[in-house]
Amino acid sequence: MLLIIGLGNPTDQHKNDRHNAGFWLCDLIAQNIQATFKVEQKFKGEVAKGKLQGHDIWLLKPSTYMNLSGESVGQLMRFLQIKPTQLLVVHDELDLAPGVIRLKMGGGTGGHNGLKSIQSHIGTPDYLRLRVGIGHPRDFVEKGSPHQEVASYVLKRPPKPEMELIEDCFYQFMRVLPDVLNDDLPKAMKELHTL
């Protein structure tokens, strides 16, 4: 079993924000495994369940806003009685360019408030993360764009060319999801990281 957490902020106001990259990928996975999200108040989020190649997949989009995501994650993990190693957290990553996606086990939070909340609620940094590149506003300042603060940058919609790059990396991940489910992380990482 794998519990995939998509990090983002709920409400229509935020659905197209860069910070919602985790929600976007969870929606794509749900579509591919014919799973439907349902609001689950006891888990403080939207939950979907399906199968891929005989493996159970649970999907969670917390409705607690990014900074409190751990509340939702902790509750569903306790209900499912799963270990942190059965968790995959999908989040936006400022330090990767749009279209770059990286899989890693464990590590720090990199200042990401959603990851901070999850680690405080599950008590360990030892879980799988899928880092979805959204670029950093400093990268665009160098290209002549006006300076943007990180907070306002992540809460904005990416331009169409960037969104297409992000969507392409989602499809790359879908190709290696069976490897992740089969615990063949080296194979999944090799394919994702050499694109």
Active site members? 19
16 is in an annotated binding site: no
Q: Indicate the helix (H) or strand (E) that contains 6.
A: strand 2-6
- The structure tokens listed for 102 are 């990286």
Sheet architecture: strand order including 38-40: 38-40, 45-52, 55-62, 2-6, 87-93, 128-133, 101-105
DSSP states of 162-178 as a string? HHHHHHHHHHHHHHHHH
20 is in an annotated binding site: no
Ramachandran class of 103: left when φ > 0, alpha when ψ lies in -120 to 50, beta otherwise: beta
Report the DSSP beta bridge partners of residue 166. Answer: none
Going by their DSSP bridges, the two strands 101-105 and 45-52 should be labelled as unpaired
Residues of each annotated binding site for tRNA: 14, 65, 67, 113
Residues placed in the known binding site = 14, 65, 67, 113
